[in-house]
Amino acid sequence: MSEDPNGAASAAPALRQRLAQVRGVSVEPRPLDARALAALAANPGCHRRALLDGAGVDKPRLAEALGVPSGFGQSQFAFMRGHAFEARVKADGGAELLRLAHACLGGGPPPDGGGEVPRLAAPGQAERVALTEEALREAAGRRGGWTLLDHPMLALEVAGSGVFLEPDAVVVHPDGGWSVVEIKSFPMLDGSADAAKVGAAARQAAVYVLALEEAADRLSDQLGEAPAVRHQVLLVCPKDFSNLPTGAAVDVRKQRAVTRRQLSRLTKVGELAAMLPLDVCFDPDRPAGALLHAVESVPASYAPECLSACELAFHCRERARAAGDVTALGRSVRGELGGLTSVEEVLAAAASPETDGGGADPGTDATVAALRRAARLRAEALAGVPDRRPGCR
């Protein structure tokens, strides 16, 4: 059955109005950015985050109003160090950055010094998007040279609305390919960096890749074909403990697929809003009790990884601990525990009696058997009594 475009168009204003009611009619929507979109992809099962971000709720203010401020943000020293490192990487027409792009990603002959660096300054975000796409079109039309777009502005459609994104840089290779560049201040020691930080950078870069692909599609009519957007991004970090830049290619195909799938699910944010009572509102100026009721009316999916990605993580952690939810212990623990979803169930399983001889009942779940044995070994270790059963060492 085909969709009714007029019905979809008429539903859009109604959805915006409903989301404004959820956010607070007098509250300006907080725009989505690449970090927020990447965090959504990292925890796709969290309806609370999907609704709050889709409605443009100011989560830092909401967390403060709930009495659990997030404490997000870099120190002034880290902020200045990061800016100084980025300026060094992009100095001299991006000569060092382009050298790293050629060494890690290829795409043509090595650069002879710096490349073309078009001016992308404009008074508004939409104007900056237009300048960025014009610079990309011109760079694609003159193959054979290197072009560096410093802090371009890209547009990505999310849940029917345009989101403006600003990557650190985009490189146009001599072969016409486009690559996203992520510049981070965490070090790369002996050629490798912290896996969690690299993963976060890859998810963020995947959002930029999707936005760059949309720009390539918009320019395909003018260029005759859509330029190739590389799914390997360039990650630039300080080398060891110095301020010298080094780079690595990071494949973001998996992160891109996950992000695209999660962003497509954001179109269902209207369904989440429709399920809420009409009096639910996340205006941070409302009384704390009303805000707590509003937040708890939307289910969350907390994991310790949320602490580095969501402003409401401290609140959700408190609630998960109070409810005895095993997800508070981490996704890996949750996966190992199978159908046991609460700490109370886990402790009850561990305390359940074993069969004589220490063997498991034929119908006993392997997780329960492992918990029983772990509890017995712990009790024996604390009591200082060795296990003298046959077959045990």
Highest mean pLDDT pick, 151-165, 280-294, 368-382? 280-294
Residues of the chain with pLDDT > 70, as a percent, come to 89
> Is pLDDT larger for residue 125 or for residue 158?
125
Q: Band the pLDDT of 44: cuts 50, 70, 90.
A: confident
CB atoms within 10 A of CB 11: 13
**Quick one: how far is CA 223 from the chain centroid?**
32
Closest of 64, 276, 22, 259 to residue 163, by C-alpha = 259
pLDDT at 225: 84
**Quick one: how far is CA 43 from the chain centroid?**
8
pLDDT surpasses 60 at 274: yes
Question: What order do you get walking across the sheet with 232-238 strand by strand?
Answer: 147-150, 169-172, 178-183, 232-238, 245-251
Q: Band the pLDDT of 360: cuts 50, 70, 90.
A: very low
- Please state, in angstroms and rounded to a whole number, the distance separating the CA atoms of residues 206 and 339: 33
pLDDT at 391: 54
Q: Band the pLDDT of 380: cuts 50, 70, 90.
A: confident
- The average pLDDT across 6-23 equals 68
- Please state, in angstroms and rounded to a whole number, the distance separating the CA atoms of residues 14 and 304: 36
Helices (H), the chain: 5-23, 34-42, 47-55, 59-65, 76-89, 91-105, 125-141, 195-223, 253-265, 269-274, 288-296, 313-322, 331-336, 343-351, 366-383
- Please state, in angstroms and rounded to a whole number, the distance separating the CA atoms of residues 310 and 305: 9
- Please state, in angstroms and rounded to a whole number, the distance separating the CA atoms of residues 214 and 178: 12
- The average pLDDT across 235-240 equals 94
pLDDT surpasses 90 at 11: no
Give, rounded to a whole angstrom, the gap between the first and last alpha carbons of the chain.
66
CA distances from 95 to 26, 49, 132, 206 (A): 48, 40, 20, 25
Per-residue pLDDT tens digits for 61-109: 999 999 988 766 566 777 788 889 999 999 998 999 999 999 999 988 9
In order, the DSSP letters of 47-67 are: HHHHHHHHHT--HHHHHHHTT
CA distances from 56 to 9, 14, 64, 161 (A): 20, 16, 16, 11
Per-residue pLDDT tens digits for 172-195: 999 999 999 999 999 999 888 999
Burial of 383 (0-12, 13-18, 19+ CB in 10 A): exposed
Highest mean pLDDT pick, 183-197, 258-272, 322-336? 183-197
Q: Band the pLDDT of 248: cuts 50, 70, 90.
A: very high
Cα-only R_g, the chain: 26
Token pair for 338: 């199978």
Write down the pTM of the prediction. Answer: 0.75
Q: Band the pLDDT of 364: cuts 50, 70, 90.
A: low
- The average pLDDT across 130-146 equals 90
